[in-house]
Amino acid sequence: MKQPAVYILASKRNGTLYIGVTSNLKTRIWQHKNHLVDSFTKQYQVYMLVYYENHSSMYEAISREKCLKKWKRSWKVKLIEEFNPYWRDLYDSI
């Protein structure tokens, strides 16, 4: 079942961040973790799922992703810490 989502990956607590969008969160994060995505995340070892939010449409998810990418880093860190204060890898809970 497709569920549009925006997600944030981190290399470690307060480390490098990556914001992405997908229609299948579990599969997409698995691809990142298994180095199947030849991108920024592979180059900088950004694999911990620290934040995500589901959306009702892909258009909504893409709009939110674009918005988050423009945010200051401090705002992104605050968003993560409100959702996931210990910066746990949320992959196993999705």
pLDDT at 33: 94
- Locate the domains of the chain by residue range: 5-93
Residue tagged 């698995």 (tokens): 30
Residue 61 has pLDDT above 80, yes or no: yes
Residue 39 has pLDDT above 90, yes or no: no
CATH fold of 5-93 reads GIY-YIG endonuclease (3.40.1440)
pLDDT at 37: 79
Of 9, 5, 7, 17, give the one whose Cα is nearest residue 74: 17
Q: Where are the beta strands (DSSP E) in 1-94?
A: 5-10, 17-22, 48-54
Mean confidence (pLDDT) of the chain:
96
